[in-house]
Amino acid sequence: IMAGRFAVRDVERSRVRRHPQPPFTTSTLQQEASRKLRLSASRTMRIAQQLYEGADIGGESVGLITYMRTDSVQLSREAIGSTRAVIKNQYGDTYLPEKPRIYKTRTKNAQEAHEAIRPTDLTCRPQDVANALDPDQQRLYELIWKRTVASEMASAEFDQIAADIAAADGQIVLRATGSVPVFDGFLVLYQEGRDDPSEDEESDDRALPPLKPGEALTRDAVRPEQHFTQPPPRYTEASVVKRLEELGIGRPSTYASILEILKARKYVLLEKGRFVPEDRGRIVTAFLANFFERYVQYNFTAEMEERLDDISGGRIDWKTVLREFWQAFGPAVDGTKDLSVSQVITTLDEYLGVHFFPETGTGVDARLCPGCNTGRLGLKLGKFGAFIGCSGYPECRFTRALALQVPGGDGKNGAELIGPRELGPHPTTGKPVSVRKGPYGHYVQVELDNGEEKPRRASIPKPLDPTTIELEMAVKLLSLPREIGLHPESGKPVTAGLGRFGPYVQHEGAYRSVDSVEEVLSIGLNRAVDLLAAPARRGANTLRALGAHPVDGKPVAIMSGRYGPYIRHLKTNAPLPRDKTPEEVTLDEAVQLLAARAARPDSGRRKPAGRRQSKAPPAAKPAAKSKRKPRAPVAAAGD
């Protein structure tokens, strides 16, 4: 095959058509925005809400799209007529089908109170409103406009080709399949994205050059490749929404909140656009699957949705539905409330054993405790959550976290810190130095040589990786706080250390921040004196300016505060949401957070403690002198 000559033996052709996709529903809008624009479901819905509420165009607030929470794929007659007019004017009669396309909803339990998501005015093209929208709004509006117009365009046509290619001796026959575009149709404007890019490579729609029987071909390269069956790709936000819709779980308004809860509660990790299950999510799923199996099955939610539809349609009594639900759910709860914690942990340990203790192929029991070599590792529950521990406790105190995130990595679960990691002897005392994990994070520890109760410990700052830290760095951390030298003016010691708010230098109660951990470990006296001589930085630093407030034009910015970043506008401060970084927050989101903060009853009423001063009563005014003569005293009775 390496030296053979090849020619086309036979070519099979068949004309196929590809029809456009219907206009957007809530779920398909979220899917396409995730694939094409890299927007989360919640972000997509917020932008769609803004487009629905309207933009300032020509001095008027104009709603740009129809209602964005809908299951319907139908367009009104006026919208279809306007769309066909746009197609004829911009693309010509060739791209306009003879009859309008009428779509029908195939989604189970669809609620079609609204038409599909479309522009309110099809003649308002994306470039016409670009100046009135921010970049994300403009991109989403363009996506909706193109999808709507393409849904009424002519179908694309392809020649489906299957070509047999034979070697000169006729013993080897290769087959190539693909397609040749004949008429682009709606593809001139819009093509739906795919959840898995590899689907494009395996598709029969791959383009082939024109081939004729008997045509000689030039061999380019021969690459022997072995293919293995791959597991299905992990879910993206788009494929999760698609799957929820297929199973009939939830409503258009719930898809975004479902995804946000999964991320906010750290049940999953979003890695390169795909969901990776976290150990917390595995434990919760294992608990529900073992003790509430009926209620986590796909068909339970879908059937409940049907029954709720029957209630709203008057086909069933709502009391009957509730009665039947509680008759089954009550015993399920009663059957679990008497379980002990140890019974639950044992069940979860057996269910998740394959995940936490995978076979290594070395013949060594994965559950064998490396600390004592006799105990059995298993799932434990402590004050600070679940962990892996030895069955030989308290004689063996070996523990390890379920999983450890490696700082600075690509988001994948890296090497686990299995128990204490010995680094070597301390260069001064000779006592062992080790890396350990506590309830508040990782730290280094050295045993004391004077028989005291507690060994010396030092926390490992975030920039350092506890799985790769070496003895030299551990010794430096254990030396903090360290004395740098004596101040040239006061003669008092200057020290450097790591505090609650980061690295610092200190002299006689005056503190100054140091830029990095590496600097605090090596800073000299001259540099420390210069820092101490500089004025103390008071107040917060500006991390990012967001722009002018739409109401008063005053600046809105993200500040770095003592307890984390926050949003500031005049005298109003709003904390930054935990799931947001300063780089992700937009001006619109900041304005909403500030408005919510200002609307709180206690906003602006709290006064600093210790500054209240009781007001002295106002001095009494001297009595005005009367011009009347004093009356003579009247004698009391009995005088």
Cα–Cα dist 70/116, whole Å = 7
Sheet strand arrangement including 441-446: 421-425, 432-438, 441-446, 456-459
> What residues form DSSP beta bridges with 510?
507
Which tokens is 71 given? 């299951």
Amino acid, single-letter form, for residue 615: K
Question: Are residues 138 and 37 in contact, defined by beta-carbon separation less than 8 angstroms?
Answer: no
Cα–Cα dist 492/508, whole Å = 7
- C-alpha distance from residue 503 to each of 397, 459, 461, 515, 613 (Å): 33, 12, 10, 7, 38
Cα–Cα dist 106/27, whole Å = 13
In 3D, which of 443, 469, 463 has the Cα closest to residue 454? 443
Residues with Cβ within 8 Å of 27's Cβ and at least 6 positions away in sequence, in order, are 107, 241, 242, 244, 245, 252, 255
- C-alpha distance from residue 381 to each of 191, 393, 420, 508 (Å): 51, 13, 19, 45
Cα–Cα dist 515/504, whole Å = 8
Helix (H, G, I), strand (E, B) or coil at 61: strand
Phi/psi of residue 392, each to 5°? -85, 10
Cα–Cα dist 202/322, whole Å = 49
The catalytic site residues sit at: 67
Cα–Cα dist 284/382, whole Å = 16
Cα–Cα dist 75/81, whole Å = 10
Helix (H, G, I), strand (E, B) or coil at 263: helix
**Upper half-sphere CA count for residue 212 (Cβ side, 13 Å):** 3
First to last CA, the chain: 147
Residues with Cβ within 8 Å of 449's Cβ and at least 6 positions away in sequence, in order, are 429, 430, 431
Helices 318-337, 298-312: axis angle to 10 degrees equals 150
Amino acid, single-letter form, for residue 327: Q
Which tokens is 210 given? 């024109």
The DSSP symbol for 117 reads B
Amino acid, single-letter form, for residue 624: A
What is the length of the chain? 639
Question: Are residues 396 and 375 in contact, defined by beta-carbon separation less than 8 angstroms?
Answer: yes
Phi/psi of residue 165, each to 5°? -115, 125
Helix (H) or strand (E) holding 10: strand 6-18
Sheet strand arrangement including 377-382: 377-382, 385-390, 399-400
